[in-house]
Amino acid sequence: GVCKHSIPDRTVLVDLYTFVQRIDHEWDMFGFVPSFAFVLGANVRRRKVVCGFSAEEPPGKNIVLGLNEYSHDASVAVADASTGRLLFAASKERITRRKHDAGETGELVAHALESLGLEAEDVKLVVTNNHHFRVLPFEKRLPFAVGIGAYPPSVLQDPIRGKVEKMEISHHLAHAWSVLPLCPFDEGLIVVMDGMGEHIREFTSRKRTGEYVCDYQLPKLDDFMEFPAEKEPFVGYREAESVYLFDKMNLSRVYKRWTAENSPPELYNHGFENMESLGALYSRVSSHIFGDWNTCGKVMGLAPYADGEIADLDSSFDENRELFTGQLITGDIQIDFEALDQLSAVNDWSNEENRGFYIHLAHKVQQEVEDEVLSFLKELRVRTGAKNLCFAGGVALNSTINGAIIREAGFEKVYIPPYPGDDGISVGCAMYGAFRGSEVALSSSSGNSATSSPYLGKLYNELDIQYALEDPEIAPYIVVEEAENEDVILEKAVRALEDGRILGWYQGPSEHGPRALGNRSLLADPRDPANVTRLNRDIKRRESFRPFAPSVLADRANEIFELDGLTDNASPFMSLTANVREHMREVVPAVTHVDGTARLQTVRKADNEKYYRLIQLFEERTSVPLVLNTSFNVAGEPIVESPTDALRTFLQSPIDGLVIDNSFVRKRAVINGLEEVWSVHISASIIEIEQRLMYGGLESEVYVSLLDRKVQLLSEFELELVRYLWEEDPEDEDEITVAECRQLMSMEEVPSDDCDRALLSLHRQRIIHFRDVNGDVP
């Protein structure tokens, strides 16, 4: 019983060898010589401890890895080809803590295998994609590139490199396979829309072999549509939109439109900026407003303000001018790049005078893209007779468009995965590999847990959580209250929400995809509009217009939102935007956007029991069957992954409390006065101290590993104290006291009050902590 967690339909494996190593490490700290890991020997490495309530067998030895590598949103997915089940999926950003991280995936692969208790020898096939260039030829040349210094040696550090069969599939085909085996119906359309996909040269290359699979190897309908029908020579075309018809596991081509790479050389992203795709158009507007093509969610959130007072401040944008002409269904889309190039105020959001202009631009691109997507899908439905739709690719991250599709496009069922963007490419690659030549017959009745669960990351066990809570860089600043059982922790959490506190909520495996769905979330009371300001300005440190999502009990969703007869579980992955019913908008203002809509998550007990019970208890106390839910991260960082990530984010932001499994964590009270007998301790490793002579005087910075950031000291007093504490002999058993710090500073003619203020400032920054005469943290 190393760990026990109630995670639906998940088998959790803990490597006993890793567990023993941890015990061995603890014993070694106290001088015990015998090594459990050594005594138990190699036999331990093969023994696994199955945790959780699932009675399934551990993963077999027919493992397939799917990779999105060397591109943005690099990720890995793991599937079992013996059963067709998706076992694991995670993005590289969660491990490296760099948002949308790209590059090699060796570290991530090792993390995935360790999480499942697998070895490299268990992997039988790797399927990969990179839509910028072919992966296998690139990797063959990597040793030379590393040798001449073009790439760091880390790109060659992969536990499976050169040991396993590896193949590639094309970009839109990978998107299609990310939904094909997992959607809850057996036939329908798959529509893929993004900024750009695979290059046409890979489809037509005479050098293409069995190690590369693309759409051109699929059958096509008699009335298959491909645009342009005649390709111009010497033009680099890339996938823009693709449509497939599927019947069980059989795909046929319906439609494909290619777009030419035509960016001027001063732009970037392999021709992405000026491509004739709807996804690229939306990203171009994102670049214009925010300076980043990958902030389309901000544009979507800004668009509804077009009818408000801020937009009236600047009406210089000509909303009558179309951003593009033509139609997708006829393949003649042409984006007016001349008009886009002439737009004013490039990447100047900080200038409030531009806000109205940006709002009108955001509204225009949202409306035009939404209208064209709807028109295209309606026509496809009529032409193919398809009743069901799967929607993938970056455009499927637009929850406003998704809501319109579900309400207006006329399909009986619509499935949008929790990872429609390029982080879902690895899932598509893994699932393709699992079913390549497989006898597994998977359909909507197979009970594949991935259909209903986005919780595909590593499950950190009780030992992982304990290590994080006892980390010497963290423990001095927190108070941990262990709950007796789940009922107690839920009661504590709901009372905190009801009292107006904002909580970090951490449990189970992490979600795969960009949405926090109740395992890595920040939660708040949706009834209090002040929570919007607190979250945006103080905690997440982002733009004030950004909306927040409600997590609502699935069987109560129709009472709160206008779902137009959709099933109760209309939006399990927070994929669609719907109107908040008129009478509820004043009840839950913190999750009601300026246009009266909300991007909702419907929560069922079967999908996430603990989170469901939390919302249920919140309803019992408030009569409101939903909570405000936003991702557990601050500006510029990805969603937290590990318990340590959660605790660090909690400490470096004004989050009020943290629920981590069955522990309630709060920050220690601010110390206002010091006792001279207290000892003073450096909390974290200080990597470097810098001093620079600036025009305004001497500026000092200390780099502290706790927050992985440089903390600028506010005075020379603080720098002097840090140096004194850091340079003391660590072997000296005599502890430095507050009184000694005062004495040191008095030698520099610094009054004791100023010394105390410097000590308290360092404590608030979590560079130092204190202990009383009993060794306890005050």
Q: What is the pLDDT of residue 703?
A: 63
Domain 462-667 sits in CATH at 3.90.870.20
Q: What is the pLDDT of residue 729?
A: 52
Q: What is the pLDDT of residue 495?
A: 98
> Which of the 8 DSSP states describes residue 337?
H
Q: What is the pLDDT of residue 723?
A: 79
Q: What is the pLDDT of residue 684?
A: 63
Single-letter code of the amino acid located at 295: T
Q: Taking CA 498 as the corner, what is the angle to CA 493 and CA 503, rounded to the nearest 5 degrees?
A: 45
Single-letter code of the amino acid located at 216: Y
Q: What is the pLDDT of residue 542?
A: 94
Q: Is the dihedral of CA 530, 534, 536, 537 positive or negative?
A: positive
Task: Check if the beta carbon of residue 725 is closer than 8 Å to that of residue 705.
Answer: no
pTM strictly above 0.85: yes
* Tokens read off for 637: 């960082």
Helices (H) and strands (E) in the chain, counts: 24, 31
Question: Taking the chain (778 residues) in consecutive chunks of 10 residues, what is each chunk's mean pLDDT?
Answer: 36 42 42 35 27 43 94 96 94 96 95 96 97 92 95 90 94 98 96 95 78 94 96 91 96 96 63 80 94 93 84 68 95 92 91 91 96 98 98 98 96 96 98 81 44 88 96 92 96 98 98 98 99 97 96 96 81 96 98 98 96 99 99 96 96 96 93 90 68 60 60 74 74 79 90 92 88 90
Class of domain 59-176+420-447: alpha beta
Q: What is the pLDDT of residue 262?
A: 76
For domain 185-200+218-415, give the fold: Nucleotidyltransferase; domain 5 (3.30.420)
CA 369 to chain centre: 25
pLDDT tens digits along 383-435: 999 999 999 999 999 999 999 999 999 999 999 999 999 999 999 999 999 99
* Tokens read off for 325: 């002409």
Per-residue HEC secondary structure of 115-174 comes to: HHCCCHHHEEEEEEECCCCCHHHHHHHHHHHHHCCCCCHHHHCCCCCCCCEEEEECHHHH
Closest C-alpha to 379, from 228, 216, 223, 173: 223
* Tokens read off for 13: 């494996």
> Which of the 8 DSSP states describes residue 595?
T
